Structure 1
Amino acid sequence: MVLCADGTLYTGWTFDLAARVEAHNLGRGARYTAGRRPVRLVFSERLPSKGDALRRELAIKRMSRQEKERLAAERIGVPLVSPGEGGL
């Protein structure tokens, strides 16, 4: 999950996390993130299969903003703060 420059969260899956985040920041990732650069990784997890990753992606996309922020904060140990609010 990445935090976009406009404060929105984008969730996706990939085989190569570093390359995917770089692609988003170069405007070659998802259309959604192309106009919302730069993006910053705020949550990731490794899953055993593509199928598991796709199911987890869907589950996260169905979460509320608050649930996504809680998920990210639990993983990185600090609250997720949107751009313009200070913090991360």
Structure 2
Amino acid sequence: MEGASRMDATWWVYMIECRGGKIYTGIAKDPDARYRRHLSGNGAAFTRMNPPVAMLAKRPCGTRSDALRAERTLRRLTGREKRVWAGT
């Protein structure tokens, strides 16, 4: 069970490609579940206006603070730089 609690404590930063080629960056404890929420229309306002097309990338960050710092840094990148980070 210790491994499960560690997994639960991990925060992730993720990128979603949205309609029109826009890229959304966010953080979550469970990025797959969060992506499903974006798909269902219950995610961020940005993804309601720009529906998700695909999950581009997700990476573990450890703490929420680490994930927020990574998210802030990634949001400042150009679209091309974001795609390089995502490996697409």
Higher relative contact order (CA 8 A, sep 6+): 2
Deviant stretches of 4+, over 6 Å: none
Partner residue, 1:12: 26
Partner residue, 2:49: 35
TM-score by length of 1: 0.78
Q: Which runs of 5+ in 2 are unaligned?
A: 1-14
Q: % of aligned pairs identical?
A: 34
TM-score by length of 2: 0.78
Matched to 1:34, the amino acid is R
**Greater fraction of residues in helix:** 2
Distance 1:68 1:40 in 2: 14
Distance 1:18 1:3 in 2: 14
Query: How many residue pairs are counted as aligned between the two chains?
Result: 74
